[in-house]
Amino acid sequence: MPSHARPLHSLHAYAELEYLLLGDLRDMLEQPFDEENARWVLAVLDTLLDTLPREFAIEEDGGYLRDVVEEYPNWEPEVARLREQHDTLLATLRRLRMRVAWQAPFTVLANDVRRELADWIETLAEHNHHENSLMQTAVNLEVGTGD
């Protein structure tokens, strides 16, 4: 297997794991927030904190959305904003993980943490959608110019 094919496989694997973890986290947020649920939430958050930096590093290797920026240089600010979101998403996830870990009593902060985690999931989903949309638009414009 060529070395350039390996990162794409890894990126796909990380994206699939992220998708599964987010689904699990959404399900957990629907459950009562007690000590047992908090342990499971922490396990998922820890796995996300291990997975997302690796996924982002693969995306950024060789230049984040480099092909898009090379083809459409005026999109550089949008690509830079998406790249910066990686750091923000990870920092927010770390902060939320600490809140879940140190939350006592659970009833005091449970609703706030649940809402913030749900907001974080939505922000990550929007980021991923925007990233995919930008790549698809670039491909469609490139294909469209060949006619």
pLDDT, one tens digit per residue, over 13-52 is 999 999 999 999 999 988 887 888 888 999 999 999 999 9
What value does the mean pLDDT of the chain take?
Answer: 87
Q: Quick check: 7 pLDDT over 70? A: no
CB 82 within 8 A of CB 130: yes
| 51-89 burial code (b ≥16 CB/10 A, e <16) | bbeebbebbeeeebbeebbeebeebeeebeebbebbeeb
For the whole model, what pTM was predicted? 0.84
